[in-house]
Copies of this chain bind each other. A is one copy, B any other.
Amino acid sequence: MRMRRKKHLEERLADCGDMIIYMDRADRNYQVKDNKELIDCEALFGNSNPVEMEIGCGKGQFICELAQRRPDVNYLAVEKSSNVVVDAAEKALSLGIKNVRFMRGGAEYLECFVPAGIVERIYLNFSCPFPKKSYASHRLTNRRFLAIYDVLLKPHSEIWQKTDNRNFFEFSLEEFSDCGWTLKNISLDLHANEPEDNIVTEYEKRFTELGMPIYRLEAYRK
């Protein structure tokens, strides 16, 4: 589903200033090795705190809550759609959150913008499951993305994934495993034994209220 372009989108994006980093893909030919525009996180955030990422942050509810809870961590939140990321950035601005920046663009361009080996955790929350098999390469746990995350993450750092979609979770378990990642802290019904610090998004809340299980995993490289 393609969303209609929001009214005044350009003005609103401009008002968000440097809260949004644009992974411009005008030429659609980013050469990872030759054409990097690497972010300097220390300059960006004004400190050398650890960096974590959410990929597919939607309207930013999760990342804003997390950033408020953990002010000593810096967050990069990636979202493909301008229509959506503008809501997220406005939310962070309205809450006065200083330790988040949003990156507009597809995860396939991340290596051009994020230095290798600096990310201490990646969150994948309720990513689009792309149920059709022919779209499997778009799933954010497809091996082409896992290879990118592997470059971005510090050694032994983790990906934390949550989803309500059973088939997507089965796919994710198999893809991580086949690509040599180690799985831990798997939950096949997160709310049966909910960790105290779990951040429940609106989306997650709705599915849980319908009695549907939320699946969760952590994956890391040994």
Contact = CB atoms under 8 A, between A and B. Distances in A.
Interface of A: 166, 169-170, 173-174, 177-178, 182-189, 192, 215
A197 B166 CA distance: 22
B186 A170 contact: yes
A182 B174 CA distance: 8
Nearest to A181: B177
Given A166-B189, A188-B166, A173 B178 contact: no
A184 B188 CA distance: 17
Q: What is the total number of copies of this protein in its complex?
A: 2
B183 A173 contact: yes
Contact of A178 (B166, B169, B182, B187): B182
A173 B189 contact: no
B178 A184 contact: yes
18 contacts: A166-B189, A166-B192, A169-B188, A170-B186, A170-B187, A170-B188, A173-B173, A173-B186, A174-B183, A174-B184, A174-B186, A177-B177, A177-B182, A178-B182, A178-B183, A178-B184, A188-B188, A188-B215
A183 B181 CA distance: 11
A173 to B, nearest CB: 5
A170 B192 CA distance: 13
Contacts of A188: 166, 169-170, 188, 215
A117 to B, nearest CB: 23
A83 B27 CA distance: 73
A52 to B, nearest CB: 23
A184 to B, nearest CB: 6
A36 B135 CA distance: 53
Nearest to A185: B174
Contacts of A187: 170
A155 to B, nearest CB: 17
A207 to B, nearest CB: 15
A71 to B, nearest CB: 32
A192 B170 CA distance: 13
A186 B186 CA distance: 14
Nearest to A179: B182
Given A173-B186, A177-B184, A188-B215, 14 more contacts: A166-B188, A169-B188, A170-B187, A173-B173, A173-B183, A174-B183, A177-B177, A177-B182, A177-B183, A178-B182, A178-B183, A178-B184, A183-B183, A188-B188
